[in-house]
Amino acid sequence: MAERELQEQLAARGLELLGSCDRLSQRPGLMEQSALLRDFTPAEADLLGANMQLVRARPGQLLIAEDEASDWMMLLLRGTVDVGKRRIAASDTDEASEVTRLAVLKEGATLGEMSMLDGEPRYASCWALSEVEAAVLSRVAVGRLITSQPAVGAKLLVKITQLLAQRLRNTSSQLVKAIQKAAEPPPA
């Protein structure tokens, strides 16, 4: 996705475009809070930020739509985001009450890494619970970073892979607990 196409997609979502995300390392506490940035030097984080688009969303605004095809991810810089999934039996006409909350994410969290990497439709939806600022990274920008700064690009891909592996471990643990609970005999 070209930079202009990304900006058009974000604007169509109703997100306020604020330019590139320069001086990412200067955001108070972000380098320590963000699992994505934790191993980056300030210079590397600033290089990454220069390749990201800064956006702002209002409370209640949809950031990422379930089943939408797109190839970008977000780094939450400020605010709180609700992550939810339509119930499996739910149809497109069901009310919002048919959404199961998966997580509430705060500053430093990442959203949308899977679709950014594989281009597949989004697994869940994300809504701003408060005013949100986020840095948006496209697959094209990652490719550009890998070409121009291979060490930073490699570090970014390793960090994203680690984040996805941790999410898979957490999901597997939750699945095992649910299966064990379902297998327990009912109380007498």
pLDDT of residue 172: 86
DSSP state of 40: S
pTM of the model: 0.85
**Percent of the chain with pLDDT strictly greater than 70:** 94
> Can you give the three-state secondary structure of 104-118, one letter per residue?
EECCCCEECHHHHHH
For the segment 178-188, the average pLDDT, to the nearest whole number, is 85
Residue pair 164/106 in contact (Cβ under 8 Å)? The answer is no
Question: pLDDT, tens digit, for every residue of 119-163?
Answer: 899 999 999 999 999 999 999 999 999 999 999 999 999 999 999
